[in-house]
Amino acid sequence: MGGEQALKIASILGYDGHVRTDAVGFSEGIWVYWRTDIVTVSAIIQHNQYTTMEISRVGTIPWYFTAVYASLDPAKRRELWNELENFAQTHGKLWLMAGDFNDTRFLSERNISCNETNRISAMFNAWIEGMDLLEVEFSGAAHTWAKGKTLETRQSGRLDRALCNDQWALRFYKAAMRRLTVATLDHYPIFISPNGFVLMESDLCIDPFDFK
């Protein structure tokens, strides 16, 4: 979907601020919306794999947010890691990054494994540890991506996550992330609340489509 559709959706949802990087070929787009009467958002870097912005509200400490849509190409994902590492070295504020990293960290985060996925996971973990990043608490069904309609063809994994530096973790110590239950194409939406969630009855339900 192009820019005109982005403006139409913004109008329907009532968001009067937005920044976008449109899809180009196999590089998916990133759209970010906000309400200007509640928050001020200033885009700092727009890249085909991420958008980094500063989030400000009156009376609160500004912080950085990076929306991630990592490439399917492992080499390009390593470029993404290098870009984010360079940003961390030159910017010292509270920082949250979240989205589709197209990588898993542990065997439990995918239903199929091979030597190559294990090798890439090890590299991803080394990058996270080298950056001193923390995982935002995650709840709900474990896998955020799935394809295949039968048990024989099913592939799934946790490709979406939220990572933060220790400053952001201390400021938003109740932060939590959950996977919503309605799938959009092959990904499930994720919902991040800096102030945590109140446990609801629906949290106790098992998603019948969560194959591992």
| 8 A C-beta contact, residue 109 and residue 157 | yes
Q: Domains of the chain: which residue ranges?
A: 1-36, 39-204
| Superfamily of domain covering 39-204 | Endonuclease/exonuclease/phosphatase (3.60.10.10)
Mean pLDDT for 101-116 is: 90
Residue matched to tokens 């870009």: 83
Please give the Cα distance from 97 to 103 (Å, whole number). Answer: 14
What string of DSSP letters covers 120-135?
HHHHHHHHHHHTT-EE
DSSP 142: S
Please give the Cα distance from 7 to 16 (Å, whole number). Answer: 9
Q: The whole model's pTM is what?
A: 0.86
Helix (H, G, I), strand (E, B), or coil: what is residue 101? coil
Q: What is the phi-psi region of residue 128: left when phi exceeds 0, alpha when psi lies from -120 to 50, beta otherwise?
A: alpha
Please give the Cα distance from 79 to 19 (Å, whole number). Answer: 22
Neighbours of 136 (CB within 10 A): 21
pLDDT 10s digits, 144-156: 888 887 777 778 8
What is the reported pLDDT for 7? 80
How large is the C-alpha radius of gyration of the chain?
A: 17
For the cut 90, the answer to whether the pLDDT of residue 123 exceeds it is: yes
pLDDT confidence band for 212 (50 / 70 / 90)? very low
pLDDT confidence band for 211 (50 / 70 / 90)? very low
For the cut 90, the answer to whether the pLDDT of residue 200 exceeds it is: no
What is the reported pLDDT for 210? 36
